[in-house]
Structure 1
């Protein structure tokens, strides 16, 4: 275990340059004191690792020092081939490079690891879109990816829900979510999210973009996703659910709603249970979400939503009511 951790520290220092002890401790899931002991062990073994003091300090290897680590464990080799799933790479224009890298890696692996690594390609496939949905192929995705990698500003014409806008954007990252690509971009001092398929025009500018040193794409995306889900479900309702309604609630609800709903464990004499769950902004939005349950759900609170549900149900009943002449014909028949 310690030997594996020492190799992990060494490869991290070689890949990233300066790294702090707390960062190494978090990556290795050990205490900072353990990292101190591991660094001493590396230095005692002749590895030229040294510490830089101060607010911007950390551990680093002597400039020019490189270590060759050719040994891969079977799980590590398999994991590398899992990272080579072709769909997103092709969308970014990296499919040829991905294939070349994979072939070189396969050639470099020992014979004992090639069979398992090749098996990963045969037995795992990534299908990113939701069921019955299609993966988007945005026209400007590759241009944006190129600007992102080269730290160049882009000028875009974007169609939002309300209007078309033009923006100069500093590209910070691309995210593939449920078959759709999203761009995290720096605009007017803040970070915003753009759906790439809604970008109508895109030109890469020669002006360089200085990426904020403290920006972390994964952290931003998690926070942005939670914020959006909270904005889409700001209100709470109390509903009464039949046994089938409880099953539909589990099958049809998004993860955000499932994580925040409260469902009473004890059922009444008819088997119905009470649930409190987050819903959309307006009574109309909330009603359209709850109408999926049909007659298996009854809104108890708030009163305005209960009235809206009754209003929509009455309008639907009237819509499907047969015309008088058809009713008369049916009676004669």
Structure 2
């Protein structure tokens, strides 16, 4: 039986978290059961969340978070904020408009010397036209990963002359120190976990089919993405 959340602030935070974790949405009765309260209370809470800026939408009797408009509320210590800035310093080697806007937001919570450094990193990360298509592909990959939807990936060989087309279940997106991102996941062609260099992904599409990430595996700890068999399985692009 669910623990009854009598404190409204605690319950509102719990509802927001529950909806964030359930991409398919939930009915009011399901949220009520999770919080240990009645449906009328949940309807009032959902209304309060919406009025407070949490973008909640309803469709076919289910409640969802609008992920396109949702902004997470996270409280961080100064040390945690600085740790994020240091991580951003590595990531800022490649243009990324999302990193730039995130750093700009962090500057509002940082002491002046550190905020000034974050602004420099944000300027370096500002997106250019050349990086726009790269960033669009990454957005599709990240959102599919968050929702655990498979991807169809068109992957170039090293000389860029041929394309390998297959489906990918993303387990993790892993950056290297040089700024290159690898998409690591289960490859439908080889049936093995492989790493795919984002810069060599020519095209990517989100599929309707979903997948589960094996809980017992720590894909983040995989030090070198395995792409050894990718080149050998290349095929001509579709015409």
TM range, smaller chain: 0.3 to 0.5
Q: Of the two structures, which has the highest relative contact order with CA contacts closer than 8 Å and spacing of 6 or more?
A: 2
Rg: which structure is higher? 1
Name the structure with the higher helix share. 1
Could you state the TM-score of these two structures normalised by the residue count of structure 1?
0.35
Could you state the TM-score of these two structures normalised by the residue count of structure 2?
0.46
